[in-house]
Amino acid sequence: MAEILFELGLMLVALVAAATIAHWLGQSVIPFYVVSGMVMNPFVLGRVEYAPLSGYAIELQAYITLLAELGIVFLLFFLGLEFSLDRLFDSSEKIGKSGALDLVVNLPAGVLIGLALGWSLLEAFVLGGIVYISSSAVITKSLIDLGWIANDEAGPMLGTLVFEDLFIAFYLAVLSAVLLGGGELATIAVDVGVAIAFLFVLVSAVHFGSEYFGRFLDTGSEEMFVLRAVAITVFVAGFALTIGVSEAVAAFFIGMGFSGTDHLHDLERRLIPLRDLFAAVFFFWIGLRTDPSVFPAVAGIIVLLVLVTTPTKLLTGFLSGRIYGLDDRRSVRVGCGMVTRGEFSLIIAAIAADAVVGGAVLTEIVPAVAVGYVLVMSVLGTTFMQYSGLFERFVVDNRSAATAD
């Protein structure tokens, strides 16, 4: 149908406009993608009084959801692809310490806020995940843009992200089994059991079968290569979903399976464009299903989260820098860098929105809070990194003043 193609084109044009503005402002593209989706949705553009314009509003349709789903799958696939257990074990002590510190401060911070709001433990646990996980995509991009990648502060930042990524894989597995399975405690237990069993099979396949993963891609032709890689990823992720296991986590482990093969660089080179395209649609889709008129109702929660979880990340980031033996100045940078939240918080929110257990808190309030929170934190985090000099001077001056006394 011609209309669908036109609508897809319209969506892509909106994304291009969003990306252009983001680059122009020196910001990450993620919040701008989300806002572009929000602007184009029936709640905003659809309510414009001027009929010819409101006709261009994009309805949430199955095909957009499908493309967004592919965005999630590819985001996690790449996370797995770039994740290496060897790397984790190589510097396991430092990564373990800074990662554990990050976890025991930031996750409970979100959980406690949730409980303080009178939410159930499950709802609070979802909120904890949303505020815990920093944005690998935005932070890594900023590291490269600012040239910090060549400095020592890159070590603790990327190390902590590796820890978070591994944790979030298990977190998502448990969360989606609980939220999407629904029902009695017994059913939930079975769902979690199935999820863990399936993941165990996948992990064993990854561990023992890396040779087969490699051979599967040993094909002379370029089209076959891309087709095979995408086919196995989408097939396994889709199958996982049919048995109630998180597709994102399945994709993560498939990516991990390929990370040990000789094809790592080819996969990165050829599939990154796919990931970037589908991920953009994912962020658009998040915006598309968000009615901005809900923000006033949750603004208080968002402000509270920002006020509490910005300092906690600054603190744990700073201490991670110290664990890596960095000086005050560079440790402050690590703190500034870790503030950004992004894609994973939104993935958690998307799972919550589809939850069959719990009530309106999970399906309405949590997603709205997450979108608002990510919009603030991604801009705030990127800005902190750009102007980290101010924080550095503040901390270093205070420290030297303290020693002078």
Partner 1 sequence: MTVYESDLPGVGKKFEIELDDETTLVVVIHNTGKRELFRREGDEDSVKLFELSDRMARQIGTILEGAYFQPIATDTTETMLDDDSLLEWIKVTESSELVGRTLGELEFRSETGASIVSIQRDEGTESNPGPETVIEADDTLIVLGTREACRRVESLAGSDMSVEADAEEDDT
Q: What share of the chain is helix, strand, coil (3-state, %, to 5)?
A: 85, 0, 15
Stretch that binds partner 1, among 151-159, 188-196, 294-302, 366-374 (CB under 8 A): 151-159
> 55-84: which residues touch partner 1 (CB under 8 A)?
78, 82-84
Q: Which of 283, 262, 291 is nearest to 14 (CA)?
A: 283
C-beta of 83 vs 216, nearer to partner 1? 83
In 3-79, which ranges are E strands? none
CB nearer to partner 1: pick between 73 and 157: 157
Nearer to partner 1 among residue 27 and residue 160 (C-beta): 160
Instruction: Select the span of 46-54, 98-106, 156-164, 217-225 touching partner 1 (CB under 8 A).
Output: 156-164
> Closest approach of Cβ 137 to partner 1, in Å?
9
Contacts for 401 with CB less than 8 Å, ≥ 6 apart: none
Residues in contact with partner 1, counted by CB under 8 A, come to a total of 26
Site residues for partner 1, 240-299, by CB under 8 A, read 264-265, 268-269, 272
Interface with partner 1 (CB under 8 A), residue from 1, 2, 51, 150: 150
Cβ at position 85, least distance to partner 1 in Å? 12
Does 145 sit near partner 1 (CB under 8 A)? no
CB burial string 267-287: b at 16+ within 10 A, e below = beeebeebbbbbbbbbbbbbb
Instruction: Tell which positions 303-332 bind partner 1, by CB under 8 A.
Output: 327
- Using a 10 angstrom Cβ sphere, with 0-12 exposed, 13-18 middle and 19 or more buried, the burial of residue 194 is middle
Q: Can you list the positions of beta strands (E) in 60-203?
A: none
The rounded radius of gyration (Å) of the Cα atoms in the chain is 21
The Cα 82–Cα 164 span in angstroms is 13
Judged by the rule CB under 8 A, the positions of this chain that interact with partner 1 are 78, 82-84, 87, 90, 136, 140, 143-144, 147, 149-151, 154-155, 158-159, 161-162, 264-265, 268-269, 272, 327
